[in-house]
Amino acid sequence: MLNWLAKLLLTSTAIAPVLLTYAWVAYQAGESSQALALLVTCLILIAICIGMLRYANRHLERVAFSAITVEAADRENMGFLLLYLLPLFTAQFTALNWQVWVPAIAIFAAVVATGYSYHFNPLLGLMGWHFYKVSTKEGVTYVLITKKQLRNATETIEVGQLTEYIVIDVGNR
């Protein structure tokens, strides 16, 4: 189990697509060096996300997992989409108040990494992963990350436990 590290990595990599938007705004404002830095940071975050997925698939203990209820958990994507598009409405790249944005993002990441509120990573969504809230017969609710489209709760899948309440489908090597 990766626990807090997995939540931190999932939270930080969730902002990768936002950086693409900021890079575009910076490029359009003639700030090529900032645009390049944002693009490189985005690519690094994508690589970290892919690396974490590979690590989970290869190294996490595999257990059979059966759910009794399944509910889509990636409905929170509208808030992320708004965050992605927000810089496009800014008059100038230089008008962005980075002294406010950077600490706000850091605080958001810390809150998510130390709590149980993580439900969606749009970068993983772009890679074809889905998020489900699943409940077990013991009454415990988990967030399941899988590439499968779950239509019923009767299927048993092989998972690895990323955190206390987040499991990832590792059935396909």
pLDDT for 25-53, tens place per residue? 889 889 899 999 999 999 999 999 999 99
Question: Strand (E) positions, the chain?
Answer: 63-66, 69-72, 130-135, 141-146, 156-161, 166-169
Give the residue carrying structure tokens 């008059």.
91
Please, are residues 109 and 12 in contact by the beta-carbon 8 Å criterion? yes
Q: Could you tell me the pLDDT band of residue 96, with boundaries at 50, 70 and 90?
A: low
Q: Give the confidence band of 86 by pLDDT, cuts at 50, 70, 90.
A: low
Domains identified in the chain, total number: 1
Domain that holds residue 102: 4-169
pTM of the model: 0.77
Q: Give the max Cα distance, the chain.
A: 57
